[in-house]
């Protein structure tokens, strides 16, 4: 009997088949959740969350997902409490297992029967720690990044030890059993600061108690968390990455994707979450952080493959429809995207999913310059969402301003300070500062329109606009002559010209932006982003590569304390890594970034 990697997704289990065990019940609950039957799923997990490891982790993933979709404090607090309690519960049971092992030394069967449970609990502990770190990161301030980083450090130790232990068992069967068809990412396992020998793993001597199927399932389970961990590390601000590197571990997004691609073929509840994590990475993370330069559709092909694979099992699931809408949006098919989001909204009774769909629809309307419908979407979100009301208030103010409803615009701006919950949050700090200034300056329609176009630039959404909308934006920019607006106008023009292929005009606009920003006081993010954009353009060609590299180092080292610094820092870090790969492989920077 060969030990092969799971060959079909766990979702191949029909959700209508009889449930025969704890693992099947947990997977049944997750399948209900992902097929728009959230109440039935919640009933199952609430009733059985204390029955076994699988049900407990299913409940953890459910409350974590609800928190992550809304960023609402109440749901985040519940998720954090649940995850912490689960971590402590599993840690206590593992400690009890170790004590029992010492007491029954020589009674091999008694210990062997608990090896699987211990490994599952170790994976569960690390999964809980990664989920807690992600929730902490949503606060987006330095203290949260540091706190979350230390929690990830704890998770790393557990994953590293557990992965090596399971991989050691797996390798024993690969060596001794014929025709293994597994393709596992073990060859690229990130080095531990203090590697532990697999031969010292506590379960090695009990390998005979674990079936090949069990070992394969455990390897897929730990690969999910290990891959998610790698992605989290790779997206942290470079300032925190320095601390993490000092602690002894690095990250690799390609390795992370490889682990999660393996985990999606597993046979437990982590398999569909691996697929969702990959869809999130390809359709949101990659374009938002410009991990592929200006190629926002770089992850579309991979995302379409994942959706096609999931179609028989989750084709009408609201979350999967949400990602289909993201693909349509990235491809510029905005009417199709709005239709898909509306379908997802109607399919789900979950308020969390409905709100993220309305959010995406609002942004699609901005991309179409349909500011009236965008305003309606953001008014609903400001009313119903408990996350970042100040952000939605700012989007409403911009929409009213572009529509030339300036009295409503001023009222919306005046409302923003009372909506801010954390001045340490970079987004809320930005909208607070901007709203106060716009009220003092009595901004007109032209200025508010420019700030609307700034939103499209900062959220890296210009590439998803139609050619007609891009032409309209260039026309509107050409009519702006107010001195204080010229730096931002030039930045937007530079981004637009670069997107439509006017390299020389783009360079000219960005250089003008930088020159006009020499004495800028309020919006210091403008010269930082302009310098980054100019560096990326210059790096594409051999004749300007040296200057581009110099500008990239300049913006990395010399610009500090500006709005959206963490966001741009991740983009800069990705570009620096592209430069390093280019130098080591003797391949052009343009080829490296386009290949991503």
- Stated pTM of the model: 0.87
pLDDT of residue 340: 98
Predicted local confidence at residue 1, as pLDDT = 31
Residues 6+ apart with CB under 8 A from 126: 155, 158, 159, 162, 222, 225, 229
Cα separation, 457 vs 530, whole angstroms: 11
Distance between CA atoms of 267 and 11, rounded to whole angstroms?
A: 8
Mean pLDDT for each consecutive 10-residue tract of the chain (596 residues)? 40 47 92 95 95 95 90 89 96 76 54 79 96 86 81 90 92 53 45 39 54 91 92 77 60 88 94 96 91 89 97 95 97 97 94 93 98 98 90 98 98 96 86 96 96 97 96 97 95 98 97 93 94 96 94 95 90 87 68 52
Going by C-alpha positions, the residue among 531, 585, 534, 591 that lies closest to residue 558 is: 531
The first and second tokens of residue 531, run together, are: 């310098």
For the chain, domain boundaries: 21-101+110-174+212-267, 467-595
> Which has the closest alpha carbon to 355: 320, 330, 309, 319?
319
Residues 486 and 516 sit within 8 Å (Cβ to Cβ): yes
Of the candidates 355, 302, 299, 306, the one whose C-alpha atom is nearest the C-alpha of residue 330 is 299
Of 351, 348, 286, 301, which is closest to residue 322 (Cα–Cα)?
A: 348
Under a CB-based contact definition with an 8 Å cutoff, are residues 193 and 247 in contact?
Answer: yes
Query: What is the C-alpha separation between 465 and 368, in angstroms, rounded?
Result: 7
The alpha-helical segments, DSSP class H, found in 369-460 are 371-384, 389-402, 406-419, 426-441, 445-458
Fold of 467-595: 1.25.40
Q: What is the DSSP string of 270-322?
A: HHHHHHHHHHHIIIIIHHHTTTTTT-TTTTHHHHHHHHHHHHHHHTT-HHHHH
| 488, 450 contact by CB (below 8 A) | yes
Residue indicated by tokens 């797996």 = 170
CB count within 10 Å of CB 434 equals 21
Between CA 591 and CA 121 the distance in angstroms is: 44
pLDDT of residue 83: 97
Tokens 């909506």 belong to residue: 419
Neighbours of 567 (CB within 10 A): 21
Q: What six digits make up the tokens of 516?
A: 């006009």
447-485 burial, b for 16+ CB within 10 Å, e for fewer? Answer: bbbbbbbbebbbbbbbbbbeeebbeebbebbeebeeeeb
Question: What pLDDT, on the 0 to 100 scale, is given for residue 583?
Answer: 74
CA distance 277 to 229: 11
Task: Write the secondary structure of 526-570 as one string of H (helix), E (strand) and C (coil).
Answer: HHHHHHHHHHHHHHCCHHHHHHHHHHHHHHHHHCCCCCCHHHHHH
């Amino acid at each position: 009997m060969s030990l092969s990697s799971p060959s079909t997704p766990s979702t191949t289990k029909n959700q209508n088949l009889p449930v025969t065990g704890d693992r099947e019940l947990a997977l049944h609950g997750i399948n209900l959740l992902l097929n728009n039957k959230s109440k039935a799923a919640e009933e199952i997990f609430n009733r059985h969350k204390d029955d076994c490891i699988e049900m407990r982790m299913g409940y953890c993933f459910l409350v974590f997902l609800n928190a992550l979709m809304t960023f609402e404090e109440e749901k985040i607090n519940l998720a954090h409490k649940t995850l912490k309690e689960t971590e402590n519960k599993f840690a206590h049971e593992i400690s009890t297992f170790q004590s029992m092992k010492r007491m029954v030394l020589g009674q091999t069967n008694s210990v062997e029967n608990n090896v699987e449970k211990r490994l599952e609990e170790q994976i569960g502990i690390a999964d809980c720690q990664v989920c807690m770190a992600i929730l902490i990161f949503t606060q987006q301030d330095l203290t949260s990044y540091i706190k979350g980083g230390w929690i990830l450090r704890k998770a790393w130790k557990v994953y590293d030890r557990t992965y090596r232990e399971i991989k050691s068992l797996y390798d024993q069967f690969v060596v001794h059993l014929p025709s293994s068809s597994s393709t596992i990412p073990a060859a690229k396992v990130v080095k531990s600061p203090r590697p532990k020998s697999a031969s010292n793993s506590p379960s090695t001597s009990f390998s005979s108690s674990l079936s090949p199927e069990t070992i394969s399932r455990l390897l897929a389970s730990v690969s999910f968390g290990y891959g998610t961990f790698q992605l989290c590390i790779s997206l942290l601000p470079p300032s925190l990455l320095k601390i993490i590197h000092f602690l002894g571990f690095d990250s690799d997004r390609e390795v992370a994707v490889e682990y999660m691609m393996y985990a999606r073929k597993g046979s437990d509840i982590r398999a569909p979450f691996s697929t969702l994590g990959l869809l999130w990475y390809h359709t949101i993370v990659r374009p938002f952080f410009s991990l592929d330069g200006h190629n926002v559709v770089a992850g579309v092909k991979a995302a379409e493959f994942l959706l096609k694979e999931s179609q028989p099992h989750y084709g009408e699931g609201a979350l999967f429809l949400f990602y289909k809408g993201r693909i349509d949006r990235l491809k510029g098919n905005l009417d199709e995207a709005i239709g898909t989001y509306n379908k997802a909204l109607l399919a789900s009774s979950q308020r969390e999913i409905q709100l993220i769909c309305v959010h995406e629809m609002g942004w699609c309307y901005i991309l179409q310059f349909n500011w009236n419908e965008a305003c309606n979407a953001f008014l609903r979100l400001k009313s119903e969402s408990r996350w970042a009301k100040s952000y939605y208030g700012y989007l409403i103010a911009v929409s009213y301003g572009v529509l030339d409803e300036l009295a409503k615009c001023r009222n919306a701006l005046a409302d923003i300070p009372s909506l801010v919950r954390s001045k340490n949050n970079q987004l809320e700090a930005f909208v607070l500062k901007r709203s106060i200034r716009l009220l003092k300056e009595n901004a007109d329609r032209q200025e508010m329109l420019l700030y609307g176009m700034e939103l499209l630039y900062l959220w890296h959404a210009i590439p998803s606009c139609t050619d007609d909308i891009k032409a309209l934006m260039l026309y509107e920019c050409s009519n702006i002559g107010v001195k204080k607006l010229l730096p931002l106008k030039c930045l937007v023009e530079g981004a637009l010209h670069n997107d439509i292929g006017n390299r020389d005009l783009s360079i000219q606009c960005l250089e003008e932006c930088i020159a006009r920003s020499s004495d800028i006081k309020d919006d210091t993010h403008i010269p930082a982003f302009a310098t980054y954009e100019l560096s990326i353009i210059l790096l594409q060609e051999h004749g300007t590569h040296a200057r581009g590299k110099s500008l990239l180092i300049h913006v990395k080292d010399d610009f500090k304390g500006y709005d959206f610094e963490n966001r741009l820092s991740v983009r800069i870090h990705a570009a620096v890594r592209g430069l390093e790969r280019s130098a080591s492989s003797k391949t052009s920077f343009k080829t490296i970034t386009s290949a991503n």
